[in-house]
């Protein structure tokens, strides 16, 4: 949340825009869904790498609000994949001490996925080694809009003085209210965009863009991103 502090050598929170599954599939003459399935292996590797490096929060952009516009078959495929991953990885999450969380409009997800997710969130809520945060039906502008609505409701009810609204007030109405801001944002497949991802929260994040497509991103690439981060000098607007 809010206040920037001294930069640790290992980022406490890493956020990743996992891009390039479709292009990977195309390059391998496979259907797009095979790209997402290959991307699942990268998720597993990166979660393990994050734990090994001592990262405490890992946020993965798994499905954006814009992604609902993709062909029905791809959306259904991704939802099925997500459900399968949660079901199959639940015991691993227990062994590794992973706490599963989500940000985004969980209410948009199909009921079967939501139930699987909510059960896993409940079962893992006391784990402390790594917070694995899946951004699902997530959009930063939607998140900020919902925060503004909620603040406006409090003002209207007389519970909040508009003059007392501070950055912390806004931050405390976001999905990420009890999650520290990302220190490092990684984007795969070379695109120089932030794509409506954590716009408020990445104000001071270091950005690492790699041309590697997500299904080819593994432990080594994660270590490279962390090494790149460790070389940066973070000033938070100071000198
Ligand atoms: C972007 O690639 C990727 C996605 C929209 C989905 C990410 C999903 C996974 C990696 C599957 C498993 C994940 C979890 C957390 C269970 P793209 O399709 O936009 O690629 P393109 O730009 O090359 O078309």
Is the minimum distance from the CB of 43 to ligand 1 under 6 angstroms?
yes
Q: What is the pLDDT of residue 235?
A: 73
Report yes or no on 17 lying in a domain.
Answer: yes
Query: What residues make up the domain containing 107?
Result: 13-139+179-230
Is the minimum distance from the CB of 70 to ligand 1 under 6 angstroms?
no
- Average pLDDT of the chain to the nearest whole number: 95
CA–CA distance from 18 to each of 122, 143, 151, 155, 203 (Å)? 26, 20, 32, 38, 20
Q: Which of 16, 17, 18 best tests ligand 1's pocket when mutated (most atoms within 8 Å of CB)?
A: 18
10 band by pLDDT with thresholds 50, 70 and 90: very high
Q: Which of 15, 17, 22 best tests ligand 1's pocket when mutated (most atoms within 8 Å of CB)?
A: 22
Q: What is the mean pLDDT of residues 206-223?
A: 98
Is the minimum distance from the CB of 139 to ligand 1 under 6 angstroms?
no
Q: What is the pLDDT of residue 3?
A: 46
At 115-131, the pLDDT tens digits run 999 999 999 999 999 99
Q: Which helix (H) or strand (E) holds 145?
A: helix 140-156
Instruction: Give percent above pLDDT 90 in the chain.
Output: 93
Report yes or no on 84 lying in a domain.
Answer: yes
Q: What is the mean pLDDT of residues 124-144?
A: 98
Report yes or no on 161 lying in a domain.
Answer: no
Report yes or no on 202 lying in a domain.
Answer: yes
Report yes or no on 172 lying in a domain.
Answer: no
Report yes or no on 145 lying in a domain.
Answer: no
Cα–Cα distance for residue pair 119/58, rounded to 1 Å? 20
Q: Which atom of ligand 1 is nearest to the CA of 86?
A: 16
Q: Is the pLDDT of residue 234 over 80?
A: no
Report yes or no on 90 lying in a domain.
Answer: yes
Decide if 101 contacts 135 (C-beta within 8 A): no
Report yes or no on 33 lying in a domain.
Answer: yes
Cα–Cα distance for residue pair 110/50, rounded to 1 Å? 29
In the residue annotation, 67 being an active-site residue is answered as yes
Q: Which helix (H) or strand (E) holds 101?
A: strand 98-103
- Domain holding 74: CATH number? 3.40.1180.10
- Secondary structure class of 156 (helix, strand, coil): helix
Cα–Cα distance for residue pair 167/124, rounded to 1 Å? 31
Q: What total number of domains does the chain contain? A: 1
- Nearest C-alpha to atom 13 of ligand 1 is from which residue? 40
């Amino acid at each position: 949340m809010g206040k920037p502090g001294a930069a640790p050598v290992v980022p406490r929170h890493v956020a990743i825009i996992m891009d390039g599954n479709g292009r990977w599939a195309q390059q391998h003459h496979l259907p797009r869904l095979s790209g997402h399935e290959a991307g699942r292996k990268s998720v597993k590797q990166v979660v393990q790498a994050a734990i090994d490096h001592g990262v405490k929060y890992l946020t993965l952009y798994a499905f954006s609000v814009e992604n609902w516009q993709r062909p029905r078959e791809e959306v259904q495929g991704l939802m099925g994949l997500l459900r399968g991953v949660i079901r199959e990885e639940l015991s691993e999450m227990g062994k590794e001490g992973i706490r599963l969380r989500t940000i985004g409009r969980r209410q948009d997800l199909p009921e079967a996925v939501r139930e699987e997710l909510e059960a896993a969130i409940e079962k893992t809520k006391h784990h402390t080694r790594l917070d694995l945060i899946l951004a699902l039906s997530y959009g930063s502008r939607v998140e900020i809009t919902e925060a503004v609505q909620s603040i406006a409701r409090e003002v209207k009810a007389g519970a909040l003085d508009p003059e007392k609204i501070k950055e912390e007030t806004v931050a405390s109405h976001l999905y990420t209210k009890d999650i520290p801001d990302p220190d490092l944002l990684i984007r795969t497949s070379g695109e120089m965009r932030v794509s409506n991802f954590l716009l408020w929260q990445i104000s001071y994040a270091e950005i690492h863009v790699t041309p590697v497509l997500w299904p080819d991103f593994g432990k080594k690439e994660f270590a490279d991103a962390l090494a790149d981060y460790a070389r940066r000098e973070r000033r938070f607007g100071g000198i």
